[in-house]
């Protein structure tokens, strides 16, 4: 009986000695594998969430009578300024669409001046020597008189105090289609809708 008891105790001591000898190595291995120093450093040095640019502005659109007709937004992106527009009250078909050099005064679209052209180019995305920074593709209006689209102005910025900045200028929609090449406005007709881009 005593011999059996001694055998059990000896076995328990051996198992305990093995466990305590192995445990530190096991814990060290797990901590090193799961959270190595370089990962801890990365977690400390780098933000969890990437801060997105908030460089964007909104524009309210109106017609010549001062009635609200829609809105547009401008957002700085890597390769220019992204424009989103949603508007109503237009005739179906294509309409010239440009950024003009001045803000609109008292709903008088003529006060917007010419197309925004800081590089002194010719008019039109199809002009071999163009184009104005403010030139954009035609808007295509649906049968119900609405348009909703997105496009890019490649050579513009929303940064202040830059020659190609869109801030403080205006957005104009014309009555007719822009032919994409004729100075000064692509034969796009009267100015029928627009809005001011905040400074």
Supply the pLDDT for residue 124.
Answer: 64
pLDDT of residue 155: 87
94 exposure class (CB count in 10 Å sphere: 0-12, 13-18, 19+): middle
SS3 percent helix, strand, coil of the chain, rounded to 5, is 25, 30, 45
Q: What is the per-residue pLDDT for 55?
A: 87
pLDDT tens for the chain, 199 residues: list them.
544 444 444 444 444 443 344 444 333 333 333 434 433 333 333 333 333 333 889 999 999 999 999 999 999 999 899 999 999 999 999 999 999 999 999 999 999 999 998 888 877 666 667 777 778 999 999 999 999 999 999 889 999 889 999 999 999 999 999 888 888 887 899 999 999 999 9
Overall residue count recorded for the chain in this entry: 199
Of all helices (H) and strands (E), which one includes residue 27?
Answer: helix 2-34
pLDDT of 179 reads 85
**What is 56-197's CATH number?**
2.60.40.200
pLDDT at 121: 80
Q: Record the pTM.
A: 0.70
What backbone phi and psi angles, to 5 degrees, belong to 14? -65, -45
Instruction: State both tokens at 54.
Output: 């908030």
Q: CA–CA separation, 119 vs 133, rounded Å?
A: 8
């Amino acid at each position: 009986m005593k011999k059996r008891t001694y055998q059990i105790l000896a076995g328990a001591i051996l198992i305990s000695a093995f466990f305590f000898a192995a445990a530190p190595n096991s814990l060290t291995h797990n901590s090193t594998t799961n959270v190595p120093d370089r990962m801890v450093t990365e977690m400390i040095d780098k933000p969890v969430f990437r801060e997105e640019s908030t460089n964007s502005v909104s524009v309210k659109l109106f017609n010549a009578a001062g009635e609200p007709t829609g809105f547009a937004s401008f957002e700085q992106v890597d390769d220019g300024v992204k424009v989103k527009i949603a508007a109503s009250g237009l005739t179906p078909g294509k309409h010239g669409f440009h950024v003009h050099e001045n803000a609109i005064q008292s709903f008088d679209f003529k006060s917007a001046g010419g197309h925004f052209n800081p590089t002194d180019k010719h008019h039109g995305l199809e002009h071999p020597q163009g184009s104005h920074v403010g030139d954009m593709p035609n808007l295509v209006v649906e049968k119900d008189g609405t348009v909703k689209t997105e496009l890019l102005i490649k050579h513009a910025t929303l940064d202040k105090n830059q020659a190609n900045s869109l801030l403080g200028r205006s957005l104009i929609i014309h009555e007719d289609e822009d032919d994409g090449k004729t100075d000064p406005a692509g034969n796009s007709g009267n100015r029928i809708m627009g809005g001011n881009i905040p400074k």
